[in-house]
Structure 1
Amino acid sequence: MQRCLKWVKHLPEMGVEPTVITVDPEVAAYPVLDASLEADVPASVRVLRTGTLEPFGAYQKLTNRPIPHGGFANEGRPSFAQRAARFVRGNLFLPDPRRGWNRFVLRQVEELMQAGERFDAVLTSSPPHSTQLIGLELKRRYGLRWLADMRDPWTDIYYNQALHRTALARRIDARYERQVLEGADVVITTSSDTRRLLLGKASGLPTNKFVVLPNGYDEADFRLPSAPPADQLLITYVGTITGQYHVQPFLEEVAACVQRHSEVPLRLRFVGRVGKEVERQIAQTGLQDRTDLLEFVPHDQAVGYLLRSTALLLAIPDVPHNLGILPGKLFEYMAANKPIICIGPTASDAAHILDESHAGVAFGYDDRRDMQEHLEQLVSAWLQNPNLDLPAFSHSRYSRRALTQRLAGLIRG
């Protein structure tokens, strides 16, 4: 969501006038909302809110359970009812349950066109990938230049394996994916590996229409000064983390480091959604008294926690096709100018960016010896100076303004 929000924020200053069509929050169902981010939408930008038809509200009422996060991060081990709901979701709602919104968007665009309005291009961003079917239909109806922004893989997204899809459902979903990739004028991805993955979905796809436009950071969000704590070595993680992120070996190495250096006030802080399995791992390693678990907070508060940290923890889920996973938080971590500890594949796009920018180090999920050595270096450096902020380094090419400038060029063609 922040990706599109920041584009909308910066496009007007670049001579591109966006009209935003989104869902009315009074009728939509989402696991978390952050109303504070509405302040980033310029007053000059027209925002049209539509109705929708989707099953999540009914699911919540029938099961008395919260709406699933992406990848079912808030469900833990699924019950029979949850497995049944996943099967229904994966086989009866294709490509996803948000498709009920599409008819409302198409009706809204039709009203705009009938009123004499004209647009140079349409941009659809997903997931939910059903949104891309809106772009497909708008291009068919009106011949608009169409940019399909795909923040994640489609049929290869890691949580599809939890949907218990039949062969027929998989074929239908793959057909939708091919139609979008073939029909869009520009396909935007967040990473090089995702671009490579999508290019292999159909023969004859022109490589030059697939463009990598990563997530980034908004310089305006980092106006406050860095304030690392002087009384503790504090490692912070912001966002969702579940058992799929395979951080137990790292937690065990942190626990071992605490035993070796009991005099060092080393603490962990997780801000956001922490899965039950990760909570159990924290308890099993004996780190519960050295770990703070904070629920979801508005974005500006999350940035504040980054700035009030010694170092930052990044983790990439241990799932298929994870080399191209580039979490949006990576670039905000970099903007916070703290040393980053990344747990995930060392050949990933995220690891490459960390290496080239000298912003941190990536460790394989089970690289215990390297983790141990790095934690020792971190402790030694902290004992000499509790401020481990990195030397000034420009990450300006990952600023939201610079990335939106590139998007404006794609929109103009």
Structure 2
Amino acid sequence: MKKPVLIISYYWPPAGGPGVQRWLKFAKYLPDHGYEVTVVIPENPDYPVLDQSLKKEIPKNVSIIKARITEPSRMAGKLSRKRTKNLQRGILKKKASFLERALVWTRGNLFIPDARVGWKQHVLRAVELFLSENPECTVITTGPPHSVHLIGLELKHLVPSIKWLADFRDPWTTIGYHKDLKLGDRAQKKHEKLEQKVLNTADLLIVTSPHTGKEFQSKTSKPLQLITNGYDIKPNSNLKQPDGKFVLAHIGTLLSDRDPQLLWESLQELCKEIKGFANDLELQLAGNVSEDILDSIEKYNLSNRLANKGYLSHDQSIELMFKAQVLLLIEIDSEETKAILPGKIFEYFASRRPIIALGPKGADIELLITDTHSGEFYNHQQKMALKKQIIHLYDLYKKGVNDGNSNDLIERYQRSHLTQILAKTIEYVWE
């Protein structure tokens, strides 16, 4: 008889972006390990981005429970739909309008821990029958939004016989954007109190990065398991240099604070210093990009080298990765972002194209890239080293030998392998 697992996730197809991928894939592979999977999702969500292509990846042997949700973003959207969507995506101009600042303050101080906190009561009602029939099931909550963990907290109180695993795809109170929410002292303390309560009550914590693991181990004695994100695409089998221009591609959201001026400045200089570089260069951005980033690109005279693709489906994004000469991974230069392991990095690995990553010194992404021999990492002060690497890759491109990486070190990040770790983790909490 298969063992029941109840996964509570705000993000589910047709939601786009990396947040949906993690538990979509775990739900796909958990049945292979003897688990019967039920997923609780919102019935009428207001997702910031949509990717209809992901619907075809929903496993047929997974049961779905839908619970209604009241989204404050719908009401805010009546004031300004574009601004509200940008706020949901994390795109806020450095020179924000009064309305944008007001929405941010409201989000930070009146909706704690986040704007989906009202979903809890609907979920509790929706899962009553399931839990009455499966009082000794495994419940997994995944955040952000971290309000989902408050559902797990309540369920653990109501049904003590369950085992609750709280999955943190990102940190909670130390995540970089918290300082942008204009939190008052009362709101900050409430966040910290709720976080501590979740950390102390869950039977086990799952984190996606070593930094977050160390942070939580300093806050609680509860057991903790590191399970990174991964990839579920067929790795690129064509390692030969792609045709076309010298394409540097970034896939994913580019926030204003993530503006890599070091990179733009380096490219501007190389356009002047190396004959033919300007004509060969193409900078591709796929995803939601802030206007501040576009202004910065224009400032460095790179707009005529830019192909701004906008948001692409998952399949289209993979195709773009496979055809790029170089893949760009850019993280904010701050202490808070050292723990961030963007979901796209694992599909970058599977694309087998060379990676250039920029981030804070000591970031977890540096260790990951080094361990897989998949590219080079630079902090935001290493301009000369960054330029040298771009020149090296450009020289390979001109010779027609900018080939991909053939090593098998990336296989540990296959979703099927990571699900094996998850299955053993579930077994552990029941021992």
What residue is the counterpart of 1:196 in the other structure? 214
Separation in structure 2 between the aligned mates of residue 32 and residue 46 of structure 1, nearest angstrom: 24
**1:54 offset after TM fit, Å?**
2.5
Q: CA deviation at 1:311?
A: 1.1
Paired with 1:391 and 1:318, the residues of 2 have a C-alpha distance of 31
1:60 counterpart (77, 81, 103): 77
Aligned ranges for residues 312-391 of structure 1 at < 5 Å?
Answer: 312-391=327-406
| TM-score relative to the length of structure 1 | 0.94
1:218 Cα deviation from its structure 2 partner: 0.7
Are the counterparts in 1 of residues 239 and 403 from structure 2 also a CA contact under 8 Å? Answer: no
In structure 1, runs of 5+ residues without a counterpart are none
Q: How do 1:294-305 residues align onto structure 2 when only pairs under 5 Å count?
A: 294-305=309-320
CA contact (8 A) 1:310 1:389 kept: no
| DSSP-derived class of the 1:21 partner | strand
Matched, 1:30 2:47: yes
> 1:126 aligned to 2:126?
no
Deviations 1:247-295 (A, max 9, x none): 0111110121122223241211110011111101111111111111011
Is 1:235 matched up with 2:248?
Answer: yes
Name the CA distance, whole Å, in 1 between partners of 2:70 and 2:338: 35
The 2-side partners of 1:124 and 1:61 are apart by 31
Query: Does structure 1 residue 258 correspond to structure 2 residue 258?
Result: no
Residues 335-368 of structure 1: per-residue CA shift (max 9 Å, x gap): 1101100011231110011112111111111211
- TM-score normalised over the length of structure 2: 0.90
> For 1:262, what is the secondary structure of its paired residue?
coil
Please state whether the residue corresponding to 1:267 is helix, strand or coil: strand
**1:69 CA drift (Å):** 4.6
The share of aligned pairs that are identical, in percent, is 32
Q: Distance in 2 between matches of 1:251 and 1:121?
A: 48
Q: 2:114 aligns with which of 92, 96, 113?
A: 96
Distance of 1:35 and 1:226 partners within structure 2: 30
Q: How many residues align?
A: 405
Q: Distance in 2 between matches of 1:236 and 1:312?
A: 5
> Distance in 1 between the 2:323 and 2:367 partners?
26
Q: Deviations over 1:113-135 (max 9, x none)?
A: 34x34452100000000000011
- The DSSP-based 3-state class of the residue aligned with 2:248 is strand
- Are 1:217 and 2:231 an aligned pair? yes
Match of residue 40 from structure 2:
21
Query: C-alpha separation between the residues in 2 aligned to 1:370 and 1:163?
Result: 35
Uncovered stretches (5+) of structure 2, i.e. residues with no partner: 1-19
- Report the alpha carbon displacement of residue 394 of structure 1 after superposing the two structures with TM: 3.3
Deviation of 1:227 after TM superposition, in Å, equals 7.0
Contact 2:28 2:59 in 1 (8 A): yes
Report the counterpart of residue 97 of structure 2 in structure 1: 79
2:415 equivalent among 397, 400, 408: 400
**1:154 partnered with 2:168:** no
Give the conservation status (yes or no) of the 8 Å contact 2:136–2:163.
no
Mapped partners of 1:180, 1:366: distance in 2? 38
Equivalence map 1:264-283=2 (5 Å): 264=277, 265-283=280-298
